[in-house]
Amino acid sequence: MRARDDAPMERRMIAAARRFLFFDPSSSSLLLCLLLSLLSANNGIVSAANAPLKFGINYGQIANNLPHPAQVSGLIRSLNVNRVKLYDADPAVLTAFAGTGVEFTISNGDLLNMSDAGNARAWVAQNVQPFLPDTRITCVILGNEVLSGTDAAAMQSLLPAMQAVHQALVDLGLDGQVNVSTSQSVNVLASSYPPSAGAFREEVVQYMRPLLDFLAEVGSPFLINAYPFFAYKASPGSVSLPYVLFEPNPGAHDPGTNLTYDNMLYAQIDAVYAAMEAMGHKDIAVRISETGWPSAGDADEVGATVQNAATYNGNLMKRVAAGQGTPLRPDVPVDVLVFALFNENMKHGQASERNYGLFYPNGTSVYDLGFDTASFSPSPRASGFSSSSKPTVSMKALDRLSYLRLNANFTCKSIGTKTVPKRHYFLNYIDVEKENFTKPNKVEKLQVL
């Protein structure tokens, strides 16, 4: 699930899931958050049941066997993905995606440090500014599910950190390109039944009210991590599996709005909208920063199967591709970042935590979602996906690459077959296959293309 390694969070999510058992359509009883347009015209067509896929994805890296970012860039460019979210600001990843058109969201969880204006500006100057405009960073997320935790200092620092980073973006002239938000669990809701009665937990209201005021002021969305899997896992006997998997079901009626819901995720989204409206905000968009379904789990993790994962993500992607909105906001297409790109073998917790990926680290699909990756092949200079923990490019070379990119407005002359245009760049060269970093005898400038 979440790319950050926080096993206790699962227990809180399960507790939240019990409150989200607000509909059981089968019995008609009421029980129960790198962002980027992908230029993929020449990279093959992706289909799921003949529908084009348009979705974002979470690129977590809690693993020791993932491919090098340059190879990941090739994989993502073979898909119809329009946004990527990182859980840090990894310069190797941001450099690898330069010139691809992919839109990135990057994250920073160091709220205490980011609350200081000087630290915030230094972080933006080092981790955001050098990569623009070549890598399309469009959002910085501060904190991940902190309002569902117990760290009072982090909760108190959340808004000041967001304000400081936003001001740093303003000072550096980047606020027109990059916005600031936060991603929170649906556990911030005390009530979600029916969706029209959605309300925030009393203990987070003191943080939520000024946070929403800030998001409205700067025009940023509110990001939510929502996992219907946890609701089903917590109470499989009373939660309708078709309802959580977007499969045909009788639907659930909300008497407060006279709307009918045919899936749990959309009901959760509308519960968040209702909770914000109760605080006076109808002017903030809700976006799903994480959702997904594990393809495997422990014996007690009911529903964690390949079939259910393929059904959940496949049906969700079809709805996203169709531009579908929720019953409460039918004209606002649901905006989703699926969790996750890869299975991550070093995540703690139950087995499901390590099995949310759409792909294995070797680049093969965990299950069939209609991805046409036949057009994807690694660069001739890159020896393909590697399942070993050894990176394709040596760390020494990678460190040198990152240093040059940050300090000399640098990008590789070429990775694969394309030269990155738009600026003058200092010429250095990475030989991916031989894992050598070579530097010319004299520094040249590349002609602007």
Specify the DSSP class assigned to residue 67.
P
Specify the DSSP class assigned to residue 121.
H
Q: Where are the alpha helices (DSSP H) in 87-129?
A: 91-96, 111-114, 117-127
CA distances from 13 to 41, 229, 329 (A): 39, 10, 25
Asked if 145 is an active-site residue, the reply is yes
Asked if 444 is an active-site residue, the reply is no
Of 103, 202, 217, 290, which is the active-site residue?
Answer: 290
Q: Which long-range contacts (CB under 8 A, 24 or more apart) does 26-29 make?
A: 26/240, 26/242, 26/243, 26/249, 26/250, 27/240, 28/250, 28/252
Residue 89 sits at φ, ψ, to 5 deg, of -130, 55
Contact 344, 63 (CB under 8 A): yes
Number of alpha helices (DSSP H) and beta strands (DSSP E) in the chain? 12, 16
Query: Which residues, in sequence order, are CB contacts of 74 under 8 Å at separation 6+?
Result: 376, 377, 378, 379, 382, 416
Catalytic positions are 145, 290
